């Protein structure tokens, strides 16, 4: 996919990040959840203050995908603060969130972003990339399977007041010797 550049995000990107987060989250999950739960989640996780705090934290890595005209059309958040017991012996990093703007779905942008994540994780000598994905998000599951992720467990994800089940998936990284 041409015409896309991937850049590390900083404080100047917070407004675009917030807008893309709210739009993509709403497009993906509003049909399955109550308005109240959606509202609670969006207010807690996608406020400018919260995103700015997270961008500044050393455990988080935000990368944005920008189109030719400088618009942010996708992003990924990686983080190292969560520690699943199953991966305790490995140097692990989590793909907490990958969001592609609806107009770009199915055109390979998610794959461009995933490729960047894998290159970053390898370069930083992580041994495994893992994630949680809602059991009903079949599109994302298909995407992760295509990228070689395998299920290794489950965990609970709170969407507002609703406790939902996520599959945990992992991909071992082949660090060059
Ligand atoms: C999941 C997501 C990141 C995938 O990004 P994308 O740009 O649409 O994916 P790509 O075009 O790079 O697709 C790569 C592969 O994923 C799989 N895939 C993508 N969309 C699919 C769909 N609707 N159905 C089945 N498989 C799909 C395919 O195997 C595809 O390979 P192909 O092009 O050879 O068929 C994107 O759809 C998205 O942002 N969804 C909303 C937010 C979300 O659910 N994020 C994940 C949870 S945090």
Establish how many alpha carbons lie within 13 A of residue 165's alpha carbon, considering only the half-sphere containing its beta carbon.
5
Fold of 5-172: Aminopeptidase (3.40.630)
pTM of the model: 0.95
User: Closest Cα to residue 151, out of 175, 173, 135, 127?
Assistant: 135
What's residue 176's pLDDT? 58
Give me the residues paired with residue 130 across strands.
Answer: 94, 170
Tally of CB atoms within 10 A around 106? 9
Q: Which of 139, 145, 167 to mutate to test the pocket of ligand 1 (most atoms within 8 A of CB)?
A: 139
CB 9 within 8 Å of CB 17: yes
Please give the pLDDT value at position 171. 98
Mean pLDDT within 25-43: 96
> Residue 12: which residues within 8 A CB-CB, separation 6 or more?
none
Q: Rounded to whole angstroms, what are the CA distances from 9 to 2, 42, 54, 61, 123?
A: 20, 20, 11, 8, 18
Atom of ligand 1 nearest to the CA of 100: 39
Coil, helix or strand for 136? coil
Q: Which of 25, 143, 167 to mutate to test the pocket of ligand 1 (most atoms within 8 A of CB)?
A: 143
Q: pLDDT digits over 72-113, tens only?
A: 999 999 999 999 999 999 999 999 999 999 999 999 999 999
- Averaged pLDDT of the chain: 95
- Distance, CA 142 to ligand 1 centroid (Å)? 7
- Evaluate if residue 2 carries a pLDDT over 90: no
Residue 177 has pLDDT above 60, yes or no: no
Neighbour tally for 107: CB within 10 Å = 13
Token pair listed for 143: 């995407």
In angstroms, what is the span from residue 15 Cα to ligand 1's centroid? 25
| Best CA proximity match to 2, nearest among 71, 66, 83, 91 | 66
Q: How far apart are the C-alpha atoms of 170 and 12, rounded to whole Å?
A: 32
| pLDDT value of position 1 | 80
DSSP 39-72: HHHHHHHSSHHHHHHHHHSTTEEEEEEE-TTS-E
d(C-alpha 9, C-alpha 74), whole Å: 12
Q: Note if 32 is an active site residue.
A: no
Query: What residue owns the CA closest to ligand 1's atom 18?
Result: 143
pLDDT tens column, 113-150: 999 999 999 999 999 999 999 999 999 999 999 999 99
Name the closest-CA residue to atom 9, ligand 1: 110
Domain ranges of the chain: 5-172
């Amino acid at each position: 996919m041409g015409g896309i550049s991937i850049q590390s995000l900083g404080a100047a990107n917070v407004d675009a990040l917030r807008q893309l987060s709210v739009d993509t989250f709403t497009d993906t999950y509003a049909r399955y959840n109550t308005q109240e739960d959606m509202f609670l989640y969006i207010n807690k996780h996608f406020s400018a203050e919260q995103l700015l705090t997270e961008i500044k934290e050393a455990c988080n890595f935000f990368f944005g995908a920008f189109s030719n005209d400088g618009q942010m059309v996708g992003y990924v958040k990686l983080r190292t603060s969560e520690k699943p017991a199953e991966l305790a012996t490995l140097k692990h990093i989590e793909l907490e969130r990958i969001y592609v703007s609806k107009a770009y779905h199915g055109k390979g942008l998610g794959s461009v972003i995933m490729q960047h994540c894998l290159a970053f994780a390898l370069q930083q000598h992580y041994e495994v990339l893992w994630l949680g994905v809602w059991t009903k998000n079949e599109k994302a599951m298909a995407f992760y399977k295509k990228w070689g992720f395998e299920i290794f467990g489950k965990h609970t994800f709170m969407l507002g007041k609703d406790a939902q089940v996520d599959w945990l998936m992992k991909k071992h990284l082949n660090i060059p010797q």
